[in-house]
Structure 1
Amino acid sequence: MTMLEDQEGRPLLQAVDLRVVFKPKSDHPVVALNNLNLRVEARSVTGLVGPDGAGKTTCLRLAAGLLVPQAGSMHVLGHDVVHEADLIRPRVGYMPQQFGLYEDLTVQENLNLYADLQGVPMSLRQEQFARLLDMTDLVKFTDRRSGQLSGGMKQKLGLACCLVKVPELLILDEPTVGVDPVSRRDIWRIVYQLVDEKGLGVVVSTAYLDEAERCNNVVVMHKGSKLAEGTPKSFYSRVSGRVFVAAPQPPQTARMLHGEVLQRSDVVDASIQSGMVRTVFSKNSPVLTNDVAETHSSPIEGESEKKTLRTIPKDSLVPVTPRFEDVFVDMLQQDGTVIEKPLLAAPDEDTVKQTRPVAVKNAPAIVVSSLLKQFGTFTAVRDISFTVHRGEIFGLLGANGAGKTTTFRMLCGLLKASGGEIHVAGNDMRKTPSKTRSRIGYMAQKFSLYQQFTVKQNLRFYGKAYGLHRAQLQQRLDWALREFDMEDRKDVITQSLPAGFKQRLAMAAAMLHEPEILFLDEPTSGADPLARREFWARINKFAREGVTVIVTTHFMEEAEYCDHLLIMAQGQQLAAGTPAQIREYAVSEKTPEPTIEDAFIQLAES
C-alpha cells in the first residue's frame, strides 16, 4: 500500500468551523480565523488568496501542527491537529515565508541536514538528492554556501529541503515572494511534477493573483473568513461584461490614462496591461448602458473647485475576458474593502518649483556611464549606462542575482563603484556622495524602521535625521500623516501595524524631506494585491509632481507603470527601452500581444 492509499476517498485536510483568536483576554483581541471551513484533496493544488490579515498564514500553521484553534476542528491525514500533531508533522512538508536555510552551509550540507532531521535512510538519499537537484537546477551549485545564492535559488533550495522526504501534504506559504518570473515558473513546475508523479496534495498561499489561475481550487479569504471557493474560471461570471481595455490617445500615456480612470466613482479597479488600461466597471456604471461614459468630476486636493477629468468614449473600450484578479478586487470592494485612490492630476508647474526649487526642468536626474562593480575577482556589474530624466519612473529588472540591487545601491551612495561615472541630482556620486544624500529618499527592500517606536516617533526620528527641525519638521509630520492616511494610527506601535500600513510608513519616512529622487528597492515584495495598487497610485502621484522614481521589482505587471526599463542579466545590460519596446522582444505568432513578463522570460532564456 502506498502512503496515500490509506487516504483514498477522504480529504488530506479538512477544517470545520475553525476559530483562532490572538490575545483573547486583551482589550483588542485579534480574530485571525472565524468559522473557517476548508478541504484539500490529494492530487490537487488548493490556493489561498486574500489581503494581509486574511488569516492565510494562521490556517497553514494550523495544518502544519504549529498552532491549535480555540474552536472548531482540523484533521490532517486523518489525524486531529490538537491531539495528534506528532503523527502529522513527519508526513507533512511545510515551507514558511522565511524558510530556515543555514546560510553558512553549502547547498549539499543543507540537504544533508534536513535529511537527518527528517530521518531519511542513507540508502535513499543519493537518488533523492540527485532528483531534487535536477528538479531545482541546483546541480552546479552543491558546493556553494546558501547565503551566496540568489533569492530565487534560495527559494528552490528551501523547497528541496522540504521534499528530501516526500510528504503526503505539501504546505507552502507564499513560496514565490521576492522571486523573479523565471524562478517562479520553475517552482510551479516542481510543484505540479510532484502532484502528477507522487499524487500528493498541495495547499499554497500566494500574493500573485496570476498564480491563483494555476490552482485546481481557490479559496478567497478576508478577515479570517472564507468569502468564496471554486475553480479559478468559476469566478469569472461575477464580472462578466464589466471588464474592458482602452488605449491611451497620444500625447496621453498609459500612466496618465490610468490615473484619470482611477478617479471615476464607477471604476472598481484599473491597471496597466501591455500598454493598455484594463478597467473593471461597477454594475451600475453608465459605461455599460450609455454610448459615452459620463463626465466625472473629482475635487483636486488644495482646490475649492472641481476639475473635470477626461471622458471615456465607449467606442474606445474593448471588452475582454475576465481574469481572477479582476474578480478578486471586485469581491473585496463589495465586501467593504476600499482601495485608496490618491488624486493623480498633475499640479501646476509653479507648485512643483516651490516644493523642489533645486530641480531643473528637463535636466537629467541621473546619468550613469560604463558603471563597474567588482568584489575581488568577481564582477557583479559591468558596463552599465543609462539616463533618467526628472519626473520619470525608471525600472531596474532582472533575475535574482542579475546585479540590479548592486547597481541600485551604487546609485544611492550605499556602495562605492569600482569604475565608471554616476551623476545623481547633478553631483558626482563617486567624489561627493554626501552632497546628494539630502536630495534623495530611500525605501529598503526589507522594512527598516524601528518596530518599537510609534508611527509618529518613527517619522520624527527620520525627519530629524534628514535635517528637519521645529516648525518645518511639524509641518512635514502633519503632511505625512495626512497624505498616507495614518492620522488615526499615529500613536500605534509600528510592530503591530498591518503590512500595508508598514509599507505606507516606510514610504512616508522616505518622502519626509521632499526628495527630488526616490529609490524604491522591491517596495511591494510580500504586499497583497490591494496594497500594491494603493502603493503604485501614490508613486504615480509623486512622479506627476516632479519626483524621479527608481524602482526594482519582481512583479512584471508593475513594470508597465515605468516610463523606461533596464533589464539586467549576469551584471550586464540585456535590454533597455520603454515598456512597449521591451514587449517587442516577445512578439511572435503565438503571442502577438505579449506582456512584460513574456518579454522578460524570453530575454532571460535567450
Structure 2
Amino acid sequence: MRATAEEAASSDAVVLARQVGKTFVSPGGEPLQAVAGLSFGVARAALTALVGPDGAGKTTLMRMMAGLLKPDSGSLAVLGMDVVHSPQAVQDHISYMPQRFGLYEDLSVQENLDLYADLHGISADLRHERFERLLEMTDLTRFVDRPAGKLSGGMKQKLGLTCTLVRSPKLLLLDEPSAGVDPLSRRELWKILQQLVDDEHLSVIVSTAYMDEAERCAQVFVMNRGTFLAQGEPAQLAARARGLTFLAVPPSGMPARDLQARLLDAEALIIDAVPRGGAVHFIRRPEAAAAPLAQPLDGLVAQPRRETLEDAFMMMLRQHHHGESPLPGPHAALPVAGQAAPAAPAGPAIVVRDVVRKFGDFTAVAQTSFDVARGEIFGLLGPNGAGKTTTFRMLCGLLPATSGRLEVAGVNLRTARAQARAHIGYVSQKFALYGNLTVQENLEFFGGAYGLRGAALRERVATVMRQFGLAPAAVSGALPVGYRQRLAMAASLLHHPEILFLDEPTSGIDPLARRAFWRTITALAQSGVTVIITTHFMEEAEYCDRIAIQDAGTMLALGTPQAVRAQAGDVAGSDMNHAFIAVVERSRHALPRLGDRRIVEHTA
C-alpha cells in the first residue's frame, strides 16, 4: 500500500517508509518475504498500533524501524534520519522494548534501573528526577529493593518499560508489551503510555494482539503476510463492518460456545462468531447479509449491535485467508478418533479440598477448595502473582501442596503423583518440545514417554499428525507459532488423557488463531476430555463452563461466567473483562477483611 501524498509531504511523520521490503531464507532454503514493499507514514506525538496475526511481519518491521535489521529494498526514515545509513544515530533517539525484554532477575528494581541508566550514559542529576517520575508512574516505588525475578509478570513488564524509558526518547517502539499480562496490569500499562504521549508528546508505536488496545490508538495498521490490509483511525476501520454485526442469545441450556460453533459452521453466511457477555457476537458475510439464516440456524433470534475494530479485523483476515484456519476445526481434532479412549472412573475429574501452598513464610495459595466435573471446561483466572500458576502446577502434579487434599482422575496426588500424571496431558505457555527434532520425531519421543510402543505408537502418531494437519518432516523449531501450538496439543493428546491442562496456551496469539484453537478445545470437551485452562484473555472465560478468580492466594469468585458477572455487579451483556476487574478491585479495597472471607460458589 502506497503512502498518501499528504504523508509523503508531511514533516510531522515520525516514520516515513517507501517500498520497504525484507526477505529471509527459510530452513529449507526457500525465500520468505516477511515485509513486502510497504509505504506509509506514522504520525508524531501519538499512539500508533501494528496489528496482525502471527507471522504478519510486525516484529520484522519494528526491528527495521529500530535499526536492528537492514531493509533489502526501499527507503526508511525514522525521525528524519535514514535508518540504513545512520542506524546508530536513530538508536540514540529512540527506545525499543522487544517481546522478551532483558531484565536481570538477580538484581533489584533499583539496580536494574541504574544498570540501564549507566548503559545509556544518563548523568546522576538527570537520572534521579527521571527515576522518581517513572517509579511513581508505574507504581514501583515500593518495590525498588525487590529482585526483578520476584516480581509478578505485570510488574516485570512495567519495570521493562521503565528501564526502556530511563532516557527521554523521541520515539518508543513496543513489541507486544502486554502479552501474558492480566487485564488490570494491561489497563495500568496503557494509562502510562497515554500519559507519556500527553505530557511528553512522545511518539509510540506498539504491536499488539489485543484489539481493545489498538482501539486506544490514533492510527492502526493492519498487517498480514508482509503487507498492509488497511490503515487508518480505529473508527474508520471499524466502519467496514457496519450493518453486518449482530448479537444472538443461545437457547436455555445451550453453552454460548456451542452456538458459536454452529454459527461458524454456517460458513456461507457467517464470517466470524465469538462468545461475549453470555451471548454470541457474530458477523454476517456482506454478500449474504440479506439471506435468511438457514439450517442449522433456523429460529435464531439476532439483533444488531455496534461494530468494533475487532469485527473489521476479523473480516479482513478471513477474507485474506480465504477460509484457511491456523488450527484444525473440531471435526479433525477429536483425540479419540478411530480408537476408544480408556474408560474413566466415576466421580469428579478433580477434587481440591482446603489446599494450602507456602514458600517459607509466604502463602501463595490459601485454603482453596473446588471440584471439576468430567468433560467440563474450567478456567483458572487471576492477576499476575495471584497464585493461579501455583494452583495449576499443584493440579498437574508438578508441585506438592503444603497441606490439604488433591485428587486428579480419582488418584491422590500426595500418594500417587506418577500414577495421576498418566491420566493428564499438559500444554505449557512456552513451546516445550524439542526444536531441533522433526514433528514426527517429537511425537514418537513423547509417545514413548507416555508408554506407547511399536505399532500402537506408530498408529497414534500418524493419527494425530493427520488430525492436526502436521507435516512429519517439518523441523519443530522452524514452525510458525500456530503450528507449534498444533504440535504441542497433538503431543499432549497422544495417550488419550482424561484431563488436559492448558497454561496460557493463547498468550500472544492473534484473534484468528484463538478462535480456531477454541473450536478444538470445544470438540475435546464434547468428546469427554476435561479441560483446565489459565488465561489472561478474559473473552476466553466465556468458553468455560465455570471459572475461578484468584488473587493474593485467595479464591474470590467461583461459578459460571454468568454468575461471576452477576457477582461483579455488571449489567446484562457486560463482558468478562469488566467483571474480572470489578471482582479483583473490590477484593483489594477490602484487604483488611480477607481473613474473614468466605467463598460461596454461585450457580446460574
**TM class by shorter-chain length?**
over 0.9
Give me the CA root mean square deviation: 1.9
In structure 2, the CA distance between the partners of 1:312 and 1:151, relative to structure 1 (3 Å rule), is: farther
Structure 2 counterpart of 1:313, one-letter code: G
Overall identity of the aligned pairs, in %: 49
Matched, 1:130 2:132: yes
Match of 2:180 in 1: 178
Deviation at 1:354, TM superposition (A): 6.9
1:418: Cα distance to partner?
Answer: 0.4
Please, which runs of 5 or more residues in structure 1 have no aligned partner?
1-6, 296-309
1:423 aligns with 2:407: yes
One of 385, 392, 414 as aligned partner of 2:369 = 385
Q: Structure 1 residues 557 and 51, CA, compared in 2 at 3 Å: closer, same or farther?
A: same
- For residues 137-148 of structure 1, what are the structure 2 equivalents within 5 Å? 137-148=139-150
Contact 1:346/1:544 (<8 A) preserved:
no
Instruction: Return the offset for 1:311.
Output: 2.1
Secondary structure of 1:158's counterpart equals helix
1:368 aligns with: 352
Structure 2: where are the runs of 5+ without partners? 1-8, 587-604
For 1:334, the equivalent position in structure 2 comes to: 319
Q: 1:289 — aligned with what? A: 290
Does 1:270 pair with 2:273? yes
CA contact (8 A) 1:440 1:518 kept: yes
Partner of 2:303: 318
Deviation at 1:431, TM superposition (A): 1.0
Name 2:476's counterpart in structure 1: 494
Superposed structure 1 runs of 4+ greater than 4 Å apart: 344-347, 351-354
Q: Provide the rounded CA distance (Å) in 2 between the counterparts of 1:43 and 1:336.
A: 34
| Pair 1:526 & 2:511 matched | no
What SS does the corresponding residue of 1:549 show, helix, strand or coil?
strand
Q: Give, in angstroms, the shift of residue 284 of structure 1.
A: 2.9
Q: Find the counterpart in structure 2 of residue 222 from structure 1.
A: 224
Are residues 592 and 364 of structure 1, via their aligned partners in 2, closer, same or farther at CA, if it must alter by over 3 Å? closer
Contact 1:369 1:384 (C-alpha < 8 Å) held by counterparts:
yes
Cα gap change, 1:465/1:101 in structure 2, threshold over 3 Å: closer, same or farther? same
Q: Is the 8 A contact 1:272 1:560 kept in 2?
A: yes
Q: Using the TM superposition, give the Cα deviation of residue 38 of structure 1 relative to its aligned residue in structure 2, in angstroms.
A: 2.5
Match of 1:470 among 443, 451, 454: 454
Q: Distance between the aligned counterparts of 1:341 and 1:109, measured in 2?
A: 47
C-alpha separation between the residues in 1 aligned to 2:254 and 2:339? Answer: 26
Q: Does 1:575 align with 2:577?
A: no
**TM-score, normalised by the number of residues in structure 2:** 0.92
User: Residue in 1 aligned with 2:573?
Assistant: 593
The letter for the 1-side match of 2:431 is F
Output the TM-score relative to the length of structure 1.
0.92
Instruction: Give, as a single letter, the amino acid of the residue that structure 2 aligns with 1:334.
Output: Q
Match of 2:387 among 400, 403, 408: 403
1:343 aligns with 2:330: yes
Q: Is the 8 A contact 1:345 1:544 kept in 2?
A: no
Report if the CA contact (8 A) 1:31-1:224 is conserved. yes
What is the match of residue 41 of structure 1?
43
> In 1, are the aligned partners of 2:256 and 2:280 still within 8 Å (CA)?
yes
Please state whether the residue corresponding to 1:372 is helix, strand or coil. strand
One-letter amino acid matched to 2:294: E
The match for 1:16 is 18
**What residue in structure 1 maps to residue 74 of structure 2?**
72
Q: Whole-Å Cα distance in 2 between the matches of residues 53 and 534 of structure 1? A: 16
Query: What does residue 3 of structure 1 align with?
Result: none
- What are the within-5 Å matches in structure 2 for residues 432-581 of structure 1? 432-486=416-470, 489-581=471-563
Counterpart of 2:156?
A: 154
**8 Å Cα contact 2:342-2:496 kept in structure 1:** no
Residues 458, 352 of structure 1: CA spacing in aligned structure 2 closer, same or farther, 3 A cutoff? Answer: closer
**In structure 1, distance between residues paired with 2:298 and 2:243:** 17
* Contact preservation (8 Å) 1:12, 1:201: yes
Cα shift readout 1:313-339 (whole Å, capped 9, x = no counterpart): 25x101111111111111111113523
Which residue in the other structure is 1:32 paired with? 34
Change in Cα spacing, 1:120 to 1:155, as seen in structure 2 (3 Å) is same
Give me the whole-angstrom Cα distance separating, in 2, the residues matched to 1:66 and 1:26: 24
SS in 2 for 1:12: strand
CA displacement 1:242-298 (0-9 Å, x = unmatched)? 11111111222212211222211222111000011111121233xx325x4112xxx
Name the count of aligned residue pairs.
574
> Matches of 1:403 and 1:535 in 2, distance apart?
25
In 2, Cα distance between equivalents of 1:462 and 1:160: 41
Corresponding residue for 1:4?
Answer: none
Deviations 1:120-147 (Å, cap 9, x if unpaired)?
1111111111111111111111001001
Does the Cα contact within 8 Å between 1:353 and 1:359 map onto a contact in 2?
no
What secondary structure does 2:13 align onto? coil
Shift of 1:211: 1.1
Identify which range, 565-574 or 262-271, moves more after superposition: 262-271
Question: What is the CA-CA distance between 1:592 and the residue it aligns to?
Answer: 5.0
| Conserved 8 A contact 2:333-2:467 | no
The amino acid of 1:104's aligned partner reads: D
Amino acid at match of 2:466: R
- In 1: Cα distance, 2:313 partner to 2:163 partner: 33
Contact residue 587 and residue 593 of structure 1 kept, 8 A: no
Please report how far the alpha carbon of residue 473 of structure 1 lies from its aligned counterpart in structure 2 after TM superposition. 0.9
